[in-house]
């Protein structure tokens, strides 16, 4: 136990400059030219280091949460103690059952999985029960182009020429989906994330309009996203499968969606829920009509954790890869996306270490 005692927990904001071949998209009403998350570094008494990743709304906020809440509660504890994370969740529950505190715990959870794998000398997928497949198909997840048909044609074509065979849009109009379908051609899986575009009474007509383009799924169709009754009603009559999950506050919420078959695809985010919770959702899907297809709009250790989850779960699903040009590509040399595929790393833990510049916090 002494060697596995946690001696430090650090949060390192990671802000990756990006370009998506046009003016920056809007995020929270402002132009967005960086993709934000936070690295989590956990070290034990014997010098073993595990890496995780937390969703990051505001770098100053997530650092403060780690410094004032997470690190004091985790330091001195055995990294292998299975009661550690449940204790943190219970201790901090009155600070909110969703949001930044749980995102911080999620990053710690991923780092602890990395530590467990390194201590056991096995990749994380082995800890999850074994690898079902050696590589994972990735799909190009485009940022929003606001219905610009020419841009959609250019970027969809570019992604397919680079070897991607599946494409996801972040668009809200029939004309945008039709433009992407023309560019992709028939038979290419095309997904549509509307980011909670419609009220329940608006969604049926909007989805019916997109159905002619044969989307593989329509993601986050409803506002508010927690209206599960409306979602279940919509799925019954929808001509297109529905996908939801990144806005869920807990694995409990997602397992309820799985149990009632309220969607065809469930999408936990490991940097919001943690790998433990996301894996519980994946296991819940076994033998049911819903497929676990994690939301992976990030590039750090959470990307690797999602890769191990997809390698270990029984049902095959593709890995989301935000299709942008990054100033720095984390794990670009060690776990690259090549021609629309990613090989699952075999090294112990998550299988790769953050590059020195990332680990040093140079991308802030």
Q: Give the pLDDT confidence score for residue 97 in this predicted structure.
A: 86
Total residue count of the chain as it appears in this document: 364
- DSSP structural state of residue 72: H
- pLDDT band at residue 249, thresholds of 50, 70 and 90? confident
d(CA 209, CA 219): 15
Q: Average per-residue pLDDT in the chain?
A: 96
Share of the chain above pLDDT 90, in %: 96
Backbone angles phi, psi at 146, to 5 degrees: 55, 40
If one counts every other C-beta atom within 10 angstroms of the C-beta of residue 76, the result is 10
d(CA 225, CA 43): 37
- pLDDT band at residue 127, thresholds of 50, 70 and 90? very high
319: nearest Cα among 270, 358, 352, 359: 270
Q: CB under 8 Å, gap of 24 or more: what pairs does 118-123 form? A: 118/48, 118/50, 118/348, 118/349, 119/4, 119/48, 119/80, 120/348, 121/348, 122/348, 123/308, 123/344, 123/345, 123/346, 123/347, 123/348, 123/349, 123/350, 123/351
pTM for the model stands at 0.97
Average pLDDT rounded to a whole number, residues 277-305: 97
Q: What are the strands, taking DSSP E only, across the chain? A: 6-19, 26-27, 30-31, 34-44, 49-55, 135-141, 167-169, 190-193, 217-219, 242-244, 265-266, 291-292, 319-322, 325-326, 337-338, 341-343
Query: What are the structure tokens assigned to 179, written together?
Result: 């433009």
Q: Give the pLDDT confidence score for residue 186 in this predicted structure.
A: 97
Q: Give the pLDDT confidence score for residue 250 in this predicted structure.
A: 87
- DSSP structural state of residue 69: I
Q: Give the pLDDT confidence score for residue 81 in this predicted structure.
A: 95
CATH number for the domain formed by residue range(s) 2-121: 3.30.390.10
- DSSP structural state of residue 3: G
- pLDDT band at residue 348, thresholds of 50, 70 and 90? very high
Average pLDDT rounded to a whole number, residues 220-240: 97
Average pLDDT rounded to a whole number, residues 89-107: 94
Query: What are the structure tokens assigned to 7, written together?
Result: 């001696």
Residue 319, pLDDT > 80, answer yes
Average pLDDT rounded to a whole number, residues 332-351: 98
- pLDDT band at residue 163, thresholds of 50, 70 and 90? very high
Residue 184, pLDDT > 80, answer yes
- Is the distance from CB of 36 to CB of 14 less than 8 angstroms? yes
Domain ranges of the chain: 2-121, 126-350
Q: Give the pLDDT confidence score for residue 28 in this predicted structure.
A: 81
Residue 27, pLDDT > 90, answer no
Q: Which of 24-33, 87-96, 287-296 has the lowest mean pLDDT?
A: 24-33
Q: Give the pLDDT confidence score for residue 142 in this predicted structure.
A: 98
The three-state (H, E, C) secondary structure of 275-301, written as one string: HHHHHHHHHHHCCCCCEECCCCCCCCH
- pLDDT band at residue 150, thresholds of 50, 70 and 90? very high
Residue 279, pLDDT > 90, answer yes
285: nearest Cα among 258, 303, 252, 247: 258
Instruction: Name the superfamily (CATH) of residues 126-350.
Output: Enolase-like C-terminal domain (3.20.20.120)
Average pLDDT rounded to a whole number, residues 57-81: 96
Q: Tell me the torsion sign for CA atoms 139, 142, 148, 150.
A: negative
Residue 1, pLDDT > 80, answer no
Q: Tell me the torsion sign for CA atoms 254, 194, 154, 15.
A: negative
CA Rg value for the chain: 20
Average pLDDT rounded to a whole number, residues 319-342: 97
């Amino acid at each position: 136990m002494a060697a596995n005692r946690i001696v430090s927990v650090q949060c390192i904001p990671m802000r990756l400059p990006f370009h998506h071949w046009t003016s920056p998209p809007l995020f929270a009403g402002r132009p967005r030219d960086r993709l934000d998350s936070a690295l989590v570094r956990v070290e034990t008494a014997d010098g073993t280091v595990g890496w995780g990743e937390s969703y990051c709304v505001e770098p100053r906020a997530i650092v403060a949460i780690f410094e004032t809440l997470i690190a004091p509660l985790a330091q001195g504890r055995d990294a292998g103690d299975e009661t550690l994370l449940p204790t943190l969740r219970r201790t901090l529950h009155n600070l909110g059952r969703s949001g930044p505190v749980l995102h911080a715990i999620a990053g710690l959870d991923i780092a602890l999985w990395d530590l467990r794998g390194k201590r056991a000398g096995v990749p994380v997928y082995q800890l999850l029960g074994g690898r079902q497949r050696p590589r994972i198909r990735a799909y190009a997840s485009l940022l929003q182009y606001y219905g610009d048909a020419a841009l959609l044609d250019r970027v969809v074509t570019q992604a397919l020429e680079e070897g991607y065979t599946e494409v996801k849009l972040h668009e809200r109009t029939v004309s945008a989906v039709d433009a992407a379908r023309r560019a992709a051609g028939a038979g290419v899986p095309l997904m549509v994330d509307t980011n909670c575009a419609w009220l329940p009474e608006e969604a049926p007509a909007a989805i019916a309009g997109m159905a002619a383009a044969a989307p593989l799924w329509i993601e986050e169709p409803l506002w508010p996203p927690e209206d599960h009754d409306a979602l279940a009603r919509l799925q019954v009559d929808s001509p297109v499968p529905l996908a939801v999950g990144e806005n869920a506050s807990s694995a409990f919420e997602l397992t309820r969606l799985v149990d009632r078959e309220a969607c065809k695809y469930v999408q936990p985010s490991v940097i919001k829920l943690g790998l433990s919770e996301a894996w519980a959702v994946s296991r819940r899907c076994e033998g049911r009509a819903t497929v676990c297809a994690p939301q992976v709009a990030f590039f750090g250790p959470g990307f690797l954790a999602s890769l191990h989850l997809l390698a270990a779960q029984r049902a095959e699903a593709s890995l989301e890869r935000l299709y942008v040009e990054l100033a720095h590509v984390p794990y670009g040399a060690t776990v690259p996306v090549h021609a629309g595929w990613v090989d699952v790393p075999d090294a112990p833990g998550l299988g790769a270490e953050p590059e020195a510049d990332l680990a040093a916090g140079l991308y802030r």
